[in-house]
Amino acid sequence: MDPRINVVEKRLEKVGRVIAVGGGKGGIGKSTIASLLALVLADSNQKVGLLDLDFTGASTHTILGIDDFHFPDEDKGIIPPKYHGISYITIANFTQDHVAPMRGLDITNAILEILAITRWDKLDYLIIDMPPGINDTTLDIIRLIKKIEFCIVTTPSKITTNVVKKSLELLEELNIQILGVIENMTFPATPYAKEVFEKCYLGTIPFDETYEHAIGDIDRLLDTVIVKTLRNLTELYDKMR
CATH classification of the domain holding 12:
3.40.50.300
Strand partners, 152: 22, 181
Report, in this order, helix, strand and coil percent for the chain, each rounded to 5. 40, 20, 35
Strand arrangement, sheet containing 86-90 = 82-83, 86-90, 48-52, 123-129, 15-23, 148-154, 177-186, 201-206
Between the CA of residue 89 and those of 68, 114, 119, what are the distances in Å?
Answer: 12, 9, 10
- For 70, the domain range is 4-240
Q: How would you write the pLDDT of the chain (241 residues) with one tens digit per residue?
A: 688 899 999 999 999 999 999 998 888 999 999 999 999 999 999 999 999 998 878 899 999 999 877 778 888 899 999 999 999 999 888 777 777 777 778 888 989 999 999 999 999 999 999 988 878 888 999 999 999 999 999 999 999 999 999 999 999 999 999 999 999 999 876 778 899 999 899 999 999 999 999 999 999 999 999 999 999 998 898 899 8
Q: What is the pLDDT of residue 190?
A: 74
Q: What is the pLDDT of residue 141?
A: 92
Q: How far apart are CA 194 and CA 173, in angstroms?
A: 22
- Burial of 187 from C-beta contacts in 10 A (0-12 / 13-18 / 19+): exposed
Q: What is the pLDDT of residue 66?
A: 92
Count of domains in the chain?
A: 1
Q: How far apart are CA 74 and CA 65, in angstroms?
A: 23
Q: What is the pLDDT of residue 143?
A: 92
- What is residue 72's DSSP assignment? P
For residue 241, give the 3-state DSSP assignment: coil
Between the CA of residue 84 and those of 43, 66, 107, what are the distances in Å?
Answer: 9, 10, 29
Contact 110, 34 (CB under 8 A): no
